[in-house]
Structure 1
Amino acid sequence: MSAEASSSVHPRGTLASRGLATEPPAPPPSPTLAPSRRAAFSYARFRRRGRVWSDGVQAWVGFTGVMLTGALLALSAARTALLLPESARPVPSSMAGAFGHGGIDLGLGGLIAALGLMFVSYAAMVSRGHRLTARPVLIGIACLNLLVLLAPPMLSTDIFSYVAYGRMGTLYAANPYLHGPSAIALDPLYPFIGAQWVNTPTSYGPLFTVLSYLFAHLSIASNVIAYKTIAAVSSLVVVLVAWSAARLRGLNPVKAVAIIGLNPVIVVYGVGGGHNDLLMLAIVITGMYALLMQRQRVSGGLIIAATAVKLTAALMLPFAVAHTAGRRSDRHGRRMVLAGAALSAGVVAALTFSVFGTGPLHLMATLQTVQSQGGLHSIPGLIMTLLGHPQLMSGVGPILDVVLVVALVWLIRRVWTQRLDWISGAGWATVALLVTAGFLVPWYVAWLVPLAALSRDRRLLAATVALTGVGLTTL
């Protein structure tokens, strides 16, 4: 046989002779095992794709549901008496908003259905929020806030109390920390103030009360627009800061801002009612972000500034201090947080005394009076009433106060010893505050939402969604 023939018949021999021998080819796949393995792999891949598709559908269906129900509530607010403050039914044309008296009257059944669908949609969206994408979520948040901003004041008379306290000090020289709105009973605003609050001095921080002085000379309708605008802008600030904070913490920023910006309590009650809780949240979350950026002094100062809007923000300070104190590499940070807080407190105290004198010293007494009037507007009060023993609430209240203090001390200690994340700790402290409070209204749940959105604790997020549902049941 010739060399050419030998080479063509035995190519591997030729390669071996050149030092290029290769491994023998793998045996052919088993005719029984290979197809089954391929089928199992294909089935697993199909299930994964199906799960991804299902999660995505659930997230976007939930998102769409929140948007549609939110738009329905905003467009129908002027015609739906139950969506309006009790003192503004029917709503005057000057406060009816950009949509006027259009829309439909949802009635009690329609309102319950709309809020129920909004909550279910929100819960579905949150559970699959990692499947959402940024552009539609951010556009949706902005549009929904705008729609609710353009609607009339919704579900609360608090916005008229803000106006009243500003007018008391500016137009009537009455200290709002010493007198209730009954001191201005002849003012055109008086009929719009909630009957429960006409004899109650302000329970808000001095910084916010000073802000209310700036709008005192405006008309009632202009004041409503001003406070709702502050609430809407504050809501968007919370969303933008939460986006950056979530990225710093390694969380999904789209899910975080969807949890906050599309929360029904924040949108319908917070922005719709023009509540100052959102202004407080905008300042306090900026303080949280400053701490994440190692700007400890700024963080402490902002937390105190938020407290000067609403005292609830003070709950964040011990957790910020515990967070920095518990890190050996950042002991200097604790002093910086406290220094910033002290400086801010000094400025607030000077401003407070110059405008209100010693009036704000009565603030805690006013808050205690408000808390004692909760009744059904509290989780403990509701439980006692359902059990047929509402009279026991007066005895249960002090016990719940002790429970709250013990819970706060335990949570702060866990953060100090680095066994609990500081944002999660502040979140659970807020849950404890809401559950034990003697007076609870739906928009108070907004305090918890940014903390849950920036926490890795799924149980905290579940508690937030549940409390959102509880808040929406209170019309």
Structure 2
Amino acid sequence: MLVAAAAYLGGSPFARGTTVTPGTMLAGRQGVLLPLCWVLGLTALLCAWWFGRHRVPSTRWALVTAGLWVLPVLPMLPLGSEDVYSYACQGFVQHAGGDPYAGGVQSFGCPWLGSVSTTWRTSPAPYGPLFLLLAGWAVALGHSLQGVIAGLRIIAVAGLALVAAGLPVLARRAGIDPARAVWTVLACPLVLIHLVSGAHNDALMVGLLVVGLALVAGRPPQPGPDGSSQPGPDGLSPAVPVAARLSAVVLAAAGVALGLAVAVKATAIVVLPFAVLAAVPPPAPIRALWRPAALIAAGAVGAAGLVSLASGRGLGWVTGLLRSGDTVAWTSPSTAVGLTVDLVAGTDAVGVTRVLGVLLLVVVLPVLWWRARAGGALPGAGLALGATVLCAPVFHPWYAIWPLAVLAATGPERRWVLGLCALAATLTLPAGYNWALFTLVPGALVVTAALLVLAVRQVRRLRHRRVFA
């Protein structure tokens, strides 16, 4: 209720020019009520989420409680970001027959252009065709800006419903308490603030990812030629063709879900190799992967291709990804290092360090996949999402939900993920102003120093292992 009051008093406004920044948060009609509601409400949410994960009586209780938490913010202004207005205008362009990938929304006469951040008015849409189709339908059904935001929130809540359906399956498959997994993900303050109130499309992407992985994890086993529940070396069991066919259908359906996730945000593609790995028992030879890889790839490519055709945009959405790094903030480690180099050496190094971050990701992902072959394909998918978040040129608070949604259900608790989510929840003001923009230089220095400390500790650990090996 306190967070909903903060959204009512100072959420992201319909018209730009009235954004609440740190310098104006105590002024005007909000007085001290807005910051008090925001700070107290956010603190209560964080404490209840953090300490409550040890006291979750059942999955149903976790779902009902998390659902009750989000109800008060549904009729209020968006919290933590102005992206929902960009979604609305991109949906308008799609609905009007324009191409959101050809340029910014300001070129197509969107009636709500005054609500869109100036940063994104000239940038092409960086999202996949599935989300643009859904945003276009939200515009067609909503008519007014308020109606469109309501439609976008319904899409986000539908994505969270997918998360709620898939998480218990993943958790049981990994031997994790489903109630605790559901609480850790859906009761996280980032869900209430950014996925529900802010209506970010990450909710739909994460929901489809979780369902895809749940289908792989919960598919019927393929009995091997000896009658056991394990498949033969080629992944097939001629003795029980029905089970093999059913498993093949499930894997193809998992590919469809994962392909639709990619059609929301292309970063979801990093999960596909781990889904293939999860489809065979460890340790499986490489030759055993070809069949599940073909089934999952067929489902994913087919789903993404059909959605691309249905949107009328073809593969133009790939070009929009090149502009997704327009924001510069220290919350991205590679950007923080570049800003520190700029400060020390007086050069423009951000572009270089961002490229190095992407190259590091290209190296890390295969290493994670190879290590996951011995077991742990599902946690490996979560770690791949975490690596993508940390190596990306841009980090927005809601990105922390990506690894959390998978890791919470597939392995032991990882404090660094929970800490990342807790920190991310504090980075924005109700109207969407990001503290990372207000603390650019000190934040970059702190992140760079933290990276150096972690690097030194890792080197010492490796030396220690060599000495006692």
For the aligned pair, the TM-score class normalised by the smaller chain equals 0.7 to 0.9
1:380 aligned residue (334, 337, 341): 334
Preserved CA contact (<8 Å) 1:270 1:443 = yes
2:104 aligned residue (164, 177, 180): 180
Name which one, 1 or 2, has greater alpha-carbon Rg. Answer: 1
Aligned pairs for 1:293-372 within 5 A: 293-294=218-219, 295-324=250-279, 326-328=282-284, 334-353=290-309, 355-358=311-314, 360-361=315-316, 363-372=317-326
CA 1:254–1:300 in structure 2 vs 1: closer, same or farther (change >3 Å)? same
Q: Which amino acid aligns with 1:75?
A: A
2:371 corresponding residue in structure 1: 414
Aligned pairs for 1:46-57 within 5 A: none
Unpaired segments ≥5 residues, structure 1 = 1-70, 92-101
1:189 corresponding residue in structure 2: 112
Say whether residues 1:138 and 2:91 are aligned partners. no
1:226 corresponding residue in structure 2: 151
Q: Which amino acid aligns with 1:170?
A: H
1:204 is displaced (CA, Å) by: 0.7
Q: Which amino acid aligns with 1:184?
A: F
Preserved CA contact (<8 Å) 1:231 1:278 = yes
Question: C-alpha separation between the residues in 1 aligned to 2:63 and 2:324?
Answer: 37
Q: Which amino acid aligns with 1:242?
A: L
Aligned pairs for 1:67-82 within 5 A: 71-79=1-9, 81=10
Preserved CA contact (<8 Å) 1:300 1:337 = no
Preserved CA contact (<8 Å) 2:101 2:125 = yes
Which is bigger in relative contact order (C-alpha 8 A, separation at least 6)?
A: 2
2:356 aligned residue (377, 399, 422): 399
Question: C-alpha separation between the residues in 2 aligned to 1:151 and 1:205?
Answer: 27
SS in 2 for 1:176: coil
Question: C-alpha separation between the residues in 2 aligned to 1:104 and 1:331?
Answer: 66
Say whether residues 1:84 and 2:40 are aligned partners. no
Question: C-alpha separation between the residues in 1 aligned to 2:64 and 2:254?
Answer: 29
1:268 is displaced (CA, Å) by: 1.0
Q: Which amino acid aligns with 1:78?
A: Y
Preserved CA contact (<8 Å) 1:142 1:236 = no
Q: Percent identity?
A: 22
**How many equivalent pairs are there?**
383
Preserved CA contact (<8 Å) 1:236 1:261 = no
Preserved CA contact (<8 Å) 2:256 2:300 = yes
Question: C-alpha separation between the residues in 2 aligned to 1:86 and 1:374?
Answer: 24
SS in 2 for 1:299: helix
Q: C-alpha offsets along residues 249-270 of structure 1, whole Å, 9 cap, x if unaligned?
A: 3221110110011011112111
1:212 corresponding residue in structure 2: 135
Preserved CA contact (<8 Å) 1:78 1:84 = no
CA 1:103–1:272 in structure 2 vs 1: closer, same or farther (change >3 Å)? farther
Question: C-alpha separation between the residues in 1 aligned to 2:166 and 2:17?
Answer: 37
Q: Which amino acid aligns with 1:366?
A: G
SS in 2 for 1:179: coil
Preserved CA contact (<8 Å) 2:88 2:148 = yes
2:166 corresponding residue in structure 1: 241
1:153 is displaced (CA, Å) by: 1.6
Q: Which amino acid aligns with 1:471?
A: A
Q: Which amino acid aligns with 1:452?
A: L
Q: C-alpha offsets along residues 104-130 of structure 1, whole Å, 9 cap, x if unaligned?
A: 96444653454344334322233x25x
Preserved CA contact (<8 Å) 1:78 1:152 = yes
TM-score (norm. length: structure 1):
0.73
Question: C-alpha separation between the residues in 2 aligned to 1:262 and 1:365?
Answer: 35
Q: C-alpha offsets along residues 428-451 of structure 1, whole Å, 9 cap, x if unaligned?
A: 222211112111111111111211
Preserved CA contact (<8 Å) 2:358 2:393 = no
Q: Which amino acid aligns with 2:139?
A: A
Unpaired segments ≥5 residues, structure 2 = 20-28, 220-249, 429-469
Aligned pairs for 1:97-136 within 5 A: 106-108=33-35, 111-126=38-53, 128-129=54-55, 132-136=57-61
CA RMSD across the alignment: 2.8
1:161 is displaced (CA, Å) by: 1.5
Q: C-alpha offsets along residues 374-398 of structure 1, whole Å, 9 cap, x if unaligned?
A: 3335233345546735833222112
Q: Which amino acid aligns with 2:99?
A: N
Say whether residues 1:463 and 2:463 are aligned partners. no
Question: C-alpha separation between the residues in 1 aligned to 2:49 and 2:131?
Answer: 31
Q: C-alpha offsets along residues 284-303 of structure 1, whole Å, 9 cap, x if unaligned?
A: 11111100122322212211
Q: Which amino acid aligns with 2:12?
A: L
1:27 corresponding residue in structure 2: none
Preserved CA contact (<8 Å) 1:300 1:338 = no
1:455 is displaced (CA, Å) by: 2.1
1:156 corresponding residue in structure 2: 81
CA 1:467–1:334 in structure 2 vs 1: closer, same or farther (change >3 Å)? farther
Question: C-alpha separation between the residues in 1 aligned to 2:394 and 2:18?
Answer: 27
Q: C-alpha offsets along residues 234-258 of structure 1, whole Å, 9 cap, x if unaligned?
A: 2133123212332233221110110
Aligned pairs for 1:29-48 within 5 A: none
Q: Which amino acid aligns with 2:101?
A: Y
CA 1:253–1:220 in structure 2 vs 1: closer, same or farther (change >3 Å)? same
Say whether residues 1:267 and 2:204 are aligned partners. no
SS in 1 for 2:103: coil
Preserved CA contact (<8 Å) 2:169 2:218 = no
